[in-house]
């Protein structure tokens, strides 16, 4: 059974020059324990659609959908109070800039204990113990010391580990990772992806991975959804997508990878997409 179901999601932003449609009729489903990758370039609406599901968009955004349910509960019609019981507890999210995601004025320990006290209902003492346990689980070296460190005293990779620790603190059933490794070096990227996959396999939570990197998709996803300009181009299991991509845009993206270059020139997406993309 699907854990998260979104049907016909549209997100419009009011701008000074009129309304701009960032997401145009997108469907997203993710099953329990599944890893779904949403791939697209900038402007594809991949982040906006997930922010809409989390209710994190600014007031200038208008979100409409035929259906938006999490484990059978209607996210569209619930009160903010009911919603908060799900968002941040059952569904959590991590972002691209780990250092910017943390508050620079508080220690990382304080910030994760805050999550544990307010979202997991632990006492101060229990939160402290659990925070240490979580820091160990996500592989932060010297965890006792690091609980007392401020974000600027840690590297980008370590900050992302802290973010992951906070995101799994409440034992969520769905973790949404928005370009979690884009700002990191490749060797650190590998460690973070390995960690996310290990945690996913241990806890059985579902994982939605938003990325622009086909290599990351190949190494993590069960199922893949390709988006372009706010629309879904293709959806397939990961093997099918790489072996036999059906949409011209997906084929174009794959052949634009320098590692797949066959001749002297790289094929560009534009040469596949003329004149207009038809989803």
Partner 1 sequence: MSVVEGRNLIRDYYVPGSLTRAAKMVRAVKGISFSVDRGKTLAIVGESGSGKSTLARIIALIDPASGGELLIDGKPVDIGKARLTREMRSKVQMVFQNPYGSLNPRQKIGDVLMEPLLLNTDTPAAERRRRAEEMLAKVGLPPEVFNRYPHMFSGGQRQRIAIARALMLNPTLLVLDEPVSALDLSVQAQVLNLLADLQDEFNLAYVFISHDLSVVRYIADDVLVMNKGEAVEQGSREEVFADPRHPYTRELFAATPVTDIEAIRERVARRKALRAAMA
Query: Judged by CB under 8 A, which of 86, 238, 247, 250 binds partner 1?
Result: 238
> What are the backbone dihedrals phi and psi of residue 64, each rounded to the nearest 5 degrees, phi first?
-130, 145
Q: Strands across the sheet with 91-94, in order?
A: 91-94, 174-178, 206-211, 35-39, 223-228, 231-237
- Closer of 93 and 252 to partner 1 (Cβ): 252
- Closer of 33 and 55 to partner 1 (Cβ): 33
- For the bound state, the minimum distance from the C-beta of residue 101 to partner 1, rounded and expressed in Å, comes to 18
In 71-221, which residue ranges form alpha helices assigned H by DSSP?
80-86, 98-101, 108-119, 124-137, 143-146, 156-168, 186-203, 214-220
> What are the backbone dihedrals phi and psi of residue 73, each rounded to the nearest 5 degrees, phi first?
-95, 135
Q: How far apart are the first and last CA of the chain?
A: 27
d(CA 95, CA 184): 12
- Closer of 246 and 268 to partner 1 (Cβ): 268
Decide: is 15 part of the binding site for partner 1 (CB under 8 A).
no
Candidate segments 48-56, 91-99, 109-117, 259-267, binder of partner 1 by CB under 8 A: 259-267
Question: Residue 236: beta bridge partners?
Answer: 224
d(CA 117, CA 276): 51
Question: Are 206 and 3 in contact, with CB atoms under 8 Å apart?
Answer: yes
Q: From the centroid of its chain, how far is CA 4? A: 14
- 3-class DSSP assignment, residue 7: strand
> Mask: binding to partner 1, 34-63, rule CB under 8 A, as x and -?
-------xx---------------------
- For the bound state, the minimum distance from the C-beta of residue 129 to partner 1, rounded and expressed in Å, comes to 28
Count of residues touching partner 1 (by CB under 8 A) = 41
- For the bound state, the minimum distance from the C-beta of residue 75 to partner 1, rounded and expressed in Å, comes to 27
- For the bound state, the minimum distance from the C-beta of residue 108 to partner 1, rounded and expressed in Å, comes to 21
Decide: is 210 part of the binding site for partner 1 (CB under 8 A).
no
Query: Judged by CB under 8 A, which of 11, 51, 102, 214 binds partner 1?
Result: 214
Decide: is 243 part of the binding site for partner 1 (CB under 8 A).
yes
Candidate segments 50-58, 67-75, 110-118, 212-220, binder of partner 1 by CB under 8 A: 212-220
d(CA 68, CA 70): 7
Candidate segments 63-71, 77-85, 140-148, 239-247, binder of partner 1 by CB under 8 A: 239-247
Which residue ranges make up the site for partner 1 (CB under 8 A)?
33, 41-42, 185-187, 189-190, 193, 201, 204, 212-219, 222, 237-239, 242-243, 252-254, 256-261, 264-270
């Amino acid at each position: 059974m699907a854990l998260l179901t979104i049907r016909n999601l549209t997100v419009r932003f009011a701008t000074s020059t009129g309304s701009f449609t960032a997401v145009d009729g997108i469907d997203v489903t993710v099953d329990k324990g599944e890893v779904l990758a949403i791939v697209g370039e900038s402007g594809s609406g991949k982040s906006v659609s997930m922010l809409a599901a989390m209710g994190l968009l600014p007031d200038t955004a208008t979100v409409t959908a035929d259906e938006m349910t999490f484990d059978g509960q209607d996210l569209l019609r619930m009160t903010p109070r009911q919603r908060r019981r799900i968002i941040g507890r059952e569904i959590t999210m991590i972002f691209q800039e780990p250092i910017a995601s943390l508050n620079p004025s508080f220690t990382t320990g304080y910030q994760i204990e805050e999550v544990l006290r307010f979202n997991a209902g632990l006492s101060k003492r229990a939160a402290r113990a659990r925070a240490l346990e979580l820091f160990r689980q996500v592989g932060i070296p010297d965890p006792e010391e690091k609980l007392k460190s401020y974000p600027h005293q840690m590297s980008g990779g370590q900050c992302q580990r802290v973010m992951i620790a906070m995101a799994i603190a409440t034992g969520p059933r769905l973790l949404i990772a928005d370009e979690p490794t884009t700002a990191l070096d490749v060797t650190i990227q590998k460690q973070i992806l390995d960690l996310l996959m290990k945690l996913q396999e241990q806890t059985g939570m579902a994982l939605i991975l938003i990325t622009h990197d086909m290599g990351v998709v190949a190494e993590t996803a069960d199922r893949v959804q390709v988006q372009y300009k706010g629309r879904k181009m293709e959806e397939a299991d990961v093997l099918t997508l790489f072996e036999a991509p059906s949409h011209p845009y997906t084929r174009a993206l794959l052949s634009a990878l320098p590692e797949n270059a066959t001749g002297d020139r790289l094929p560009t997406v534009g040469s596949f997409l003329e004149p207009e993309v038809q989803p």
